Amino acid sequence: MARRLLCGVTVIISVTLNPAVDQTAWVDRLEPGSVHRVRETHIDPAGKGINVSRMAHRLGWPTLAFGFLAGDVGNIVRKALEQEGVPAHFVPVPGQTRINVTVVEGPGTATSFYGPGPAAPAEALASLEGLVRFWLQAGRVLVLAGSLPSGVPPDVYARLTRAAGERGVKVFLDADGEPLRLGLAAGPSLIKPNVAEAERLLGRSLPDEVAILAAARELVGRGVETVIISMGGRGAVCAQAARAWRIHPPDVKRLSTVGSGDAMVAGLAVALARGEDLVRGLALGTAAGAATAMSEGTALGTADDVAALLPRVRIEQMS
Ligand SMILES: Nc1ncnc2c1ncn2[C@@H]1O[C@H](COP(=O)(O)OP(=O)(O)OP(=O)(O)O)[C@@H](O)[C@H]1O
Ligand SMILES: [Mg+2]
């Protein structure tokens, strides 16, 4: 039924189990122990999968955002998605969705405070998993992104990855720690850790690009088709079984890179859903990441910025 309702359109489905409202405050100087006059403040819906859906929507591809929301803070996220026109279905859980506070000092040094988020009861998780499994019939890509709230077992991404695999839906997994480690074993199509996440996953430091590329290749060897390790303003490396690439983003005026990785995952998912090849996906993802880096606070890049940056992305195939 889901497939018929969507007339064959293949949707990017995102799952955000631990969303947030991001509050960004701009101050001249951050001094611990003192009262600050805030120059400006913003409130944005946040959460990694939510960001992926918002960016996919901006890039013009149908998307559905799933996850948990709680209380009045959760309603801020619901309304913001509604205003942006991003279709979403969030299962209510008790308590309040967390508020993440980011203080931006002077020209752009960000200090963030992330709460744990409300716990998700077993019944809420069962109904969310049921919904996602149902909508997988309309899906092309399932994006599993971000941390887990308490009450959710660490193998949830692994279970959803297997369910998607059974229906021929590609899984992009963007997580950290145990949920990433267990999810990886279930064979997602793509993972996109940043360097710190890749270091935690492999249990060793990755001091330079040679080590980062070797790490990406090693992770491909664990059964993931595409591994991208992102390096912030330095770009990313990408490895598949037989090929590897070094991706150089355009030089942009960096305001805040919060959400750049999510924007990159969205660009990759949109390119795949359009039927484009990986290199075009890397370019679109990199342009979306750079567009987000040049946007203030937790704001994502605009479609116009992504289009303007796309021709400036450089991708080198490596031997
Ligand atoms: N300062 C920057 N200038 C240009 N491009 C950038 C910049 N920062 C990030 N990007 C682009 O975005 C991609 C992802 O960024 P990054 O490595 O910071 O992801 P991340 O740590 O997963 O971010 P998050 O999880 O907060 O969304 C990079 O590979 C790069 O292409
Ligand atoms: Mg990230």
- Around ion ligand 2, residues with a beta carbon closer than 5 Å are 261
CA 92, 72, 303, 229 dihedral sign is negative
- Give the pLDDT band of residue 3 (cuts 50, 70, 90): very low
- Give the pLDDT band of residue 9 (cuts 50, 70, 90): low
Compute, in angstroms, the gap from residue 167 CA to the centroid of ligand 1: 31
Atom of ligand 1 nearest to the CA of 257: 8
Question: Using CA positions, which residue lies closest to atom 11 of ligand 1?
Answer: 289
Residue 36's contacts (CB-CB under 8 Å, 6 or more residues apart) are 25, 27, 30, 103
Nearest bound ligand to CA 143? 2
Secondary structure element (H or E) that encloses residue 66, with its range: strand 63-69
Question: Using CA positions, which residue lies closest to atom 16 of ligand 1?
Answer: 232
Catalytic annotation present for 262 = yes
Compute, in angstroms, the gap from residue 122 CA to the centroid of ligand 2: 27
CA distance 259 to 187: 25
Question: Using CA positions, which residue lies closest to atom 3 of ligand 1?
Answer: 233
**What is the reported pLDDT for 4?**
46
Pairing relation of β-strands 170-174 and 190-191?
parallel
Tokens encoding 215: 């790490």
Compute, in angstroms, the gap from residue 257 CA to the centroid of ligand 2: 10
**Domain 2-18+46-96+118-318 is classified in which CATH homologous superfamily?**
Ribokinase (3.40.1190.20)
Alpha carbon dihedral 30, 34, 38, 42, in 10-degree steps, equals 70
**Mean pLDDT value across residues 22-47:** 89
- Give the pLDDT band of residue 308 (cuts 50, 70, 90): very high
- Give the pLDDT band of residue 8 (cuts 50, 70, 90): low
What residues does ligand 1 touch, defined as CB less than 6 Å away? 194, 230-233, 235-236, 249, 252, 254, 257-262, 264, 286, 289-290, 293
For the entire predicted model, the pTM comes to: 0.94
Q: Give SS3 for 42.
A: strand
pLDDT tens digits, 232-259: 999 999 999 999 999 999 999 887 778 9
Question: Using CA positions, which residue lies closest to atom 14 of ligand 1?
Answer: 261
Map tokens 């020209």 to a residue: 107
> Among 262, 277, 304, 305, which one carries the catalytic annotation?
262
pLDDT tens digits, 78-136: 999 999 999 999 999 999 999 999 898 877 788 889 888 899 999 999 999 999 999 99
- 174 to each of 5, 26, 30, 43, how far by Cα in Å? 29, 28, 31, 24
- Give the pLDDT band of residue 1 (cuts 50, 70, 90): very low
- How far, rounded to the nearest angstrom, does the alpha carbon of residue 155 sit from its chain's CA centroid? 18
Pocket residue to mutate for ligand 1, from 260, 292, 306, most atoms within 8 A of Cβ? 260
Nearest bound ligand to CA 176? 2
pLDDT tens digits, 187-234: 999 999 999 999 999 999 999 999 999 999 999 999 999 999 999 999
